[in-house]
Amino acid sequence: MSVPALSIPDSTVGFLRDGYAFISSRCDRLGTDAFRTRIAGRPVICMRGAEAARLFYDGNRFTRAGALPPNTVRLLQDRGSVQTLDGEAHRHRKAMFMSLMTVDSLDWLVEIFEQTWHSYEGLWRQFGRIVLHHQIRKVLTKTACEWAGIPLQEPEVTERAREFSMMIDQAGSFGPANWYALLKRRGTEKWARSVVDGVRDGTVRPPEGSALATIADYRDEDGGLLSADAATVELLNVLRPIVAVARFIVFAAVALEQHAGWKERFASGEQVNLEPFAQEVRRYFPYFPAVGGTATEGFSFGGSRFEAGTWVLLDLYGTNHHSGIRENPETFSPERFHDWDNNPYTLVPQGAGIVDESHRCPGERITVELIKKATQLLSTTDFTVPAQDLTFSLDRIPAVPNSGFVLQAPGYRKSST
């Protein structure tokens, strides 16, 4: 058997319409894990599953150059970032990111997050009702900046949170909303650039080992300092994705609400299931639908041979929901992670493979730890969850529940707002 082609000439409309389900629904129909089609007129191989994840992430066979829409790249990782590098330059830069992820450093991040959450709680009580998705992005913005060595005061927190949120929300969009987000990004870049310049001219002194100090002082494999532009981009590549964890936290809140028993267990102090719960949130709920790469060498998959230059989309959401990988993938079940073998190719919301050697996300531990702490805080808060629309659509990328998750302070009266 070889990789089949879809019968229609171009799948752009189908991709936009079906969003997260685009690749999987077609693979299911064809009874395969890969198919050929065209998107925006360009031939592409869409694939899913553990074998596809291994092919895509191991051995540096796929570059990200020319493999993602330029405006998405500009809003997320951007030009000159670690994601755009390959080979030794990538490995060296990636080691810088990984040096920020020590246990002590992550403990410190989670501590700042918890303190910041509590410092906002008083305000949330005054508001009476809050939309968690909006508020948690402020908490995460303040947390990320403080942890990185750039303490922020209000109203700057609100301003930066708005900018980071726009980059995340509009990464999957086209047209005016995307252009506006790009325009706003310039302001964020100006701010981040002034911070990097400040470290380099000695007027800003971030704590040793902080993300800001590490990035500003980083020397690449040739021994040269990063250009100010590249350092700015990488600083934003630490800050923005920490704010992006907001969506997973909102989905954790949805899971606590919709799957009876977990909230009570965590409220009573149970700790052992926090990690499986956070992993299941990352597996079950949608975030990045797929990741694109261009083959740097010929490769074989599904009984077919492909040439260097082939464009491939690896289905992250569909791999997490693959019925060949796990039973009942459409059921939310943290228990499935009790005896998980840590296979690096079967849970792939943030990429697959060996993190130091591939483009797999360096921020997975940050993500899991923040979801765990937020799950604890959401389970023990005295805020309640009023009736609201918690549904989300798989054709909106990135997805989020329609209500944004409303929380209500004790004693809240509608007339008080």
Q: Is 372 in the site for ligand HEM (CB under 6 A)?
A: no
Smallest separation, CB 242 to ligand HEM (Å): 5
In a 3-state reduction of DSSP, which class is residue 206? coil
Among 37, 188, 279, 367, binds ligand HEM (CB under 6 A): 367
DSSP state for residue 300 in the 8-state scheme: E
The stretch near ligand HEM (CB under 6 A) out of 16-24, 153-161, 348-356, 376-384 is 348-356
* Shortest distance (Å) from residue 224 CB to ligand HEM: 20
* CB closest to ligand HEM, residue no: 363
| Comparison of 21 and 409: residue with beta carbon closer to ligand HEM | 21
User: Can you list the pairs that 295-298 forms with residues at least 24 positions away whose Cβ atoms lie under 8 Å?
Assistant: 295/61, 295/62, 296/60, 296/61, 296/62, 296/63, 296/86, 297/61
Choose the stretch contacting ligand HEM; rule: CB under 6 A; options: 26-34, 264-272, 303-311, 360-368.
360-368
Q: Which helix (H) or strand (E) holds 131?
A: strand 129-131
SS3 of residue 413 by DSSP: coil
Residue 130, C-beta contacts closer than 8 angstroms, at least 6 positions apart:
124, 383, 406, 407
As measured in angstroms, the least distance from the Cβ of 106 to ligand HEM is 10
Q: Which is nearer to ligand HEM, 256 or 316 (CB)?
A: 316
* 191, HSE (Cβ side, Cα atoms, 13 Å): 16
What's the first-to-final CA gap in the chain, in angstroms? 64
Q: Does 351 participate in binding ligand HEM (rule CB under 6 A)?
A: yes
When the beta carbons of 293 and 383 are compared against ligand HEM, the nearer one is 293
Q: How far apart are CA 168 and CA 234, in angstroms?
A: 16
CA angle centred on 139, ends 201 and 230, rounded to 5°: 35
Q: What minimum distance in Å lies between the beta carbon of 278 and ligand HEM?
A: 11
- Closest approach of Cβ 83 to ligand HEM, in Å? 4
Query: Cβ distance 27 to 319 under 8 Å?
Result: no
3-class DSSP string for 12-59: HHHHHHHHHHHHHHHHHHHCCCEEEEEECCEEEEEECCHHHHHHHHHH
Of the candidate residues 363, 375, 385, 390, the single one contacting ligand HEM (CB under 6 A):
363
β-bridge mates for residue 63, sequence order: 294
Beta carbon of residue 117, minimum distance to ligand HEM (angstroms, whole number)? 17
Single out the residue of 382, 387, 366, 370 nearest to residue 263, CA to CA.
382
Q: Single out the residue of 36, 48, 94, 138 in contact with ligand HEM (rule: CB under 6 A).
A: 94
Q: Which is nearer to ligand HEM, 344 or 409 (CB)?
A: 344
Of 220-249, binders to ligand HEM (CB under 6 A) are 237-238, 241-242, 244-245, 248
Task: Rule CB under 6 A: say whether 172 interacts with ligand HEM.
Answer: no
User: Which listed residue (11, 83, 170, 379) binds ligand HEM by CB under 6 A?
Assistant: 83
311 in contact with ligand HEM (CB under 6 A)? no
CA 344 to the chain's CA centroid: 17
- Residue 77 or 320: the one with the smaller Cβ distance to ligand HEM is 77
Binding ligand HEM (rule: CB under 6 A), the pick from 21, 82, 253, 378 is 82
Q: What angle do CA 319, 325, 330 make, to 5 degrees?
A: 70
292 or 334: CB nearest ligand HEM:
292
Q: Are 311 and 67 in contact (CB under 8 A)?
A: yes
Interface with ligand HEM (CB under 6 A): 64, 77, 82-83, 94, 97, 237-238, 241-242, 244-245, 248, 287-288, 291, 349-351, 359, 361-363, 366-367
